[in-house]
A and B are shown apart, each in its own frame.
Chain A
Amino acid sequence: MNRWATTALVASQLLLSNAVFAHGPTPQKIDESVVIEAPIEAVWEKVSDFNAIADWHPSVESSVPTDEQGTRVLAFKDKGTITESLDELDADRHYLGYRLLEEDIEVFPVSFYSVSVELTESDAGTEMLWQGRFYRADTGNFPPEHYSDEAAVEAMTDFAQDGMNALKAELEGQK
């Protein structure tokens, strides 16, 4: 019953744990959007195929489904892989949500994220919204610069913008 230690003020023993956890106490957010001059269904056709991201995202070399349904392994050029899993795909709302299942902070400096991509019709065509909640690579209190909140925000922002801009260029070029 009384199996726990009362280490009154002997904090030094507890300070030893400085492991990198998959989730930390401080989430960050991105909220990016791009207007694509293309019909919503044309954009949705690209975005909704969970394993077709490598066809349009310039940073993703390949996307391979795993045995587990709704998961994809993304390979980044000359870097390595991370695995994502699909949470929700709603064709009526033109919405998909997914999360990071297996991180590799050497490949992508974020320890966990959940992302949603949503399309809405606009005057010019389609507004594409890319939102995310995520944690830096090293969730301890003294992260090195390349594992910091800033590095995570930059990586998430760039990934969203690069993807949406490439999609925009491709779909608008086809007009």
Chain B
Amino acid sequence: MKPLLRIGLSSLLLVAIPVAAERAFLTHQAVDRVSVLDLEQEGKVLAKVDVSKAPVGVAIDSLRNRFYVTHPEMGKISVIDMTTYAVIDEIKTGGQPFGIVVDDSGKRQVFVSDWERNAILVINAESRLVVDILAVGENPAGLALDTKKRRLYVANRNSNTLSVLDADRPRQYAEVPTGKAPYAVSVSPDGNHIFVTSIQDDKLTVIDGQSYEVKATVETGMAPYGVDVTHDNSHVMVANQGSNDVWVFDVSTLKKLTQIPVGEMPESISLSSDGTQGFVTNWFSNDVSVINLETMQESSRWKVDESPRSLGRFLAD
């Protein structure tokens, strides 16, 4: 076989087909409920699922057609079927499970931050048992997983650091200083940049994905919470809870390009993998802002149930 042909074939095989996000999964902490929105039908509610007390974190497990929500108040995690929306199990973790992320590589693991026990819980996605507990900084909150580089990033809220862990072995590569009260973390799809919001000093810490050194610290709006990076690695977007807006930065220059007014006290932001839309949960005003990523403007705002939070990536493609 000629080399040229091989390159052509393999590059074809490696191209991921971008798809529009289909559904959003919202945790409503105040009313013990999860709602599922159809993103192609203007946020039509497909299901309202009553769950255990005070759900916060959410993660989609597309391999197993389930999603998980964390209940820090109860020390457990609900496992919900993505087709029937039935709660099929509850995983008892103890502590205060908060942020959650699924290993999409196919390895049977789910990572959960335990706010109270200053730990990362590793859960076997098949047996649904806690198989490891790993010590990190104080009050770990947001998580991000780079499935290709096999790294787990953990924002340690009260230590003002980001832990960089190996996703396969109990090993820590670095503990990187961040701003004050780091909350959410996002890694660019190419793995080159890690972005951490810090609530109390209104900063975005930009960390190099190779050296784990702080490349820059950028001013954000007031009380930045959620952060996500566009599919083409070009823009990073931060939801500011104190100033009720989303700030958009150019990843290469780290300059602020624009700010987008959203609902009140925005919390989490997730961008669709086809690069067309972003979604923001507005905790105080009980709505979801839809952002057109071409124009970088809010295109609509959908009324939803009480106090949507959805810490984590809350879109299913």
Contacts and interface: CB of A to CB of B under 8 A. Distances in A.
A11 B118 CA distance: 12
Interface stretch (B5-13, B90-98, B145-153, B210-218): B90-98
A21 B115 CA distance: 10
Interface residues on A, range: 20 to 34
Interface of A: 1-11, 14-15, 17-18, 21, 23-29, 31, 87-88, 97, 114, 131, 133, 140-141
Interface stretch (B134-142, B270-278, B296-304): B134-142
B242 interface: yes
B56 A14 contact: no
Contacts of B119: 14
A9 B139 contact: no
Given A11-B94, A25-B73, A25-B115, A6 B132 contact: yes
B310 to A, nearest CB: 14
Range for the number of chain B residues in contact with chain A: 35 or more
- Secondary structure at the B interface, as helix, strand, loop or mixed, is loop
B130 interface: yes
Interface of B: 29-30, 54, 56, 72-75, 94-96, 98, 114-119, 130-136, 139, 157-158, 170-173, 181, 222-223, 241-242, 264-265, 283-284, 307
A167 to B, nearest CB: 23
For the complex of A and B, 4 pairs with smallest distance between CB atoms: A25-B72, A6-B170, A14-B117, A4-B135
A10 B117 CA distance: 12
Q: For B29, B115, B116, B170, which residue has the most chain A Cβ atoms within 10 angstroms?
A: B116
A5 B118 CA distance: 12
